[in-house]
């Protein structure tokens, strides 16, 4: 019976209609998947975010086969949300596709309209101006109104800062930001001495926010920089684990000095490998 159901799906699975049909079948009240039927926008949202991260991870690793698979998973998330919206009479996948196509045409008049060709910098400025107009048309009173709250903290911080910088609320250069980092570090030190947990968290957040601003002035993606640091930590800690395992020793019995020596060794290995 399952094979018969599968055969009913469009023969050309390369078309988006086939995926939409699969999703509709999964959500069908009669014969659908119980798990899929139980889901709603809120329960699916974490999976959507996770799939976006897995796309980024595949790109970071240069794994194009994985990227193809992960893009499919991410596309399925869009189809899932659109199917639930269609069931509630809100919109369909076609409406989503039409909306983004119209938005791209509207934001690229130098390609689809009469505007002259732009440099990449000019296009960025024009893009932001168009987005500002769209925010105003939607009734948003603040430059910061539509920066998504669900973004990773560092990414959201950078976006908020970019918005404010458009009206001149910004430091002149990275050196000025470094001075602010020193100031925030001192305030965090004082907060730690006070042992006030709420105050410590506040000052720590201020420091992270300024560090995000520094990344912007240095033209560095803070999330990418942190991912790189995470991978470096994993690589060096694995050297410690492997060294102890090769000796048949238990890492739990190792002293901090022993582990630190192996960490320095791993660091030197990284330098030689250019990592």
Query: Which residue, among 111, 112, 85, 113, has the nearest Cα to 97 in the 3D structure?
Result: 85
Residues 86 and 42 occupy one common structural domain: yes
d(CA 53, CA 72): 13
Number of domains in the chain: 3
Residues 81 and 175 occupy one common structural domain: no
Look at residue 118 and tell me if it is in a domain. Answer: no
Query: Which residue, among 42, 51, 119, has the nearest Cα to 84 in the 3D structure?
Result: 42
Rounded (10°) CA dihedral 30, 33, 35, 40: -60
d(CA 19, CA 14): 8
Kindly indicate the confidence band of residue 121, based on its pLDDT and cuts at 50, 70 and 90. confident
Look at residue 87 and tell me if it is in a domain. Answer: yes
Residues 21 and 72 occupy one common structural domain: yes
Q: Is the pLDDT assigned to residue 9 strictly greater than 70? A: no
Residue with tokens 């009206």: 167
Residues 175 and 208 occupy one common structural domain: yes
Kindly indicate the confidence band of residue 3, based on its pLDDT and cuts at 50, 70 and 90. low
**Maximum distance among all alpha carbons in the chain?**
72
**What CA–CA distances, in Å, run from 86 to 73, 132, 210, 242, 243?**
20, 29, 43, 53, 56
Look at residue 266 and tell me if it is in a domain. Answer: yes
Q: Are 75 and 94 in contact (CB under 8 A)?
A: no
Look at residue 187 and tell me if it is in a domain. Answer: yes
Choosing from 220, 245, 260, the residue where a domain stops is 220
Helix (H) or strand (E) holding 51: helix 41-61
Residues 257 and 166 occupy one common structural domain: no
Q: Comparing 89 with 61, which gets the higher pLDDT? A: 89
Look at residue 125 and tell me if it is in a domain. Answer: no
Mean predicted lDDT score pLDDT of the chain: 89
pLDDT in tens, 70-88: 999 999 999 999 999 999 9
Lowest mean pLDDT among 14-18, 94-98, 236-240: 14-18
Lowest mean pLDDT among 23-27, 95-99, 149-153, 228-232: 149-153
Look at residue 115 and tell me if it is in a domain. Answer: no
DSSP 97-124: HHHHHHHHHHT-HHHHSSPPP--HHHHH
Look at residue 179 and tell me if it is in a domain. Answer: yes
Lowest mean pLDDT among 124-133, 142-151, 221-230: 124-133
Residues 164 and 214 occupy one common structural domain: yes
Ramachandran region, residue 168 (left: φ > 0; alpha: ψ -120 to 50; beta: rest): left
227 exposed, middle or buried (CB, 10 Å; 0-12, 13-18, 19+)?
A: middle
Tally DSSP H helices, then E strands, for the chain.
Answer: 13, 0
Radius of gyration of the chain (CA): 25
pLDDT in tens, 21-51: 999 999 999 999 999 999 999 999 999 999 9
Give the range of the structural domain holding residue 265, as residue numbers without chain letter.
Answer: 223-273
d(CA 210, CA 181): 6
Choosing from 81, 106, 131, the residue where a domain stops is 106
Q: Comparing 275 with 253, which gets the higher pLDDT? A: 253
For the chain, give the percent of residues with pLDDT over 90: 69
Look at residue 20 and tell me if it is in a domain. Answer: yes
d(CA 211, CA 269): 29
Residues 228 and 196 occupy one common structural domain: no
d(CA 213, CA 209): 6
Question: What is the CATH number for 18?
Answer: 1.10.287.1080
């Amino acid at each position: 019976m399952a094979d018969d159901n599968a055969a009913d799906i469009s023969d050309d699975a390369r078309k988006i209609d086939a995926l939409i049909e699969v999703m509709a079948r999964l959500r069908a009240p009669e014969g659908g998947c119980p798990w899929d039927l139980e889901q709603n926008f809120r329960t699916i949202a974490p999976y959507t975010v996770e799939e976006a991260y897995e796309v980024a991870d595949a790109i970071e690793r240069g794994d194009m086969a994985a990227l193809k698979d992960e893009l499919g998973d991410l596309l399925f998330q869009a189809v899932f949300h659109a199917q639930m919206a269609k069931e509630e009479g809100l919109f369909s996948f076609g409406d989503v596709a039409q909306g983004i196509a119209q938005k791209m045409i509207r934001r690229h008049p130098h390609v689809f309209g009469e505007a002259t060709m732009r440099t990449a910098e000019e296009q960025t400025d024009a893009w932001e101006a168009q987005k500002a107009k769209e925010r105003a048309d939607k009734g948003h009173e603040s430059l910061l109104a539509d920066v998504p709250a669900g973004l990773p903290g560092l990414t959201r911080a950078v976006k908020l800062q970019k918005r404010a910088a458009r009206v001149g609320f910004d430091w002149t250069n990275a050196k000025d930001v470094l001075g602010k980092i020193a100031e925030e570090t001192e305030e965090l030190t004082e907060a730690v001495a006070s042992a006030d947990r709420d105050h410590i968290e506040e000052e720590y957040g201020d420091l992270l926010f300024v560090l995000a601003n520094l990344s912007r002035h240095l033209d560095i993606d803070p999330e990418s920089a942190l991912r790189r640091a995470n991978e470096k930590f994993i690589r060096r800690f694995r050297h410690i684990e492997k060294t102890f395992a090769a000796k048949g020793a238990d890492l739990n019995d190792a002293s901090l000095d022993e582990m630190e020596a192996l960490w320095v060794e791993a660091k030197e290995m990284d330098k030689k490998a250019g990592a």
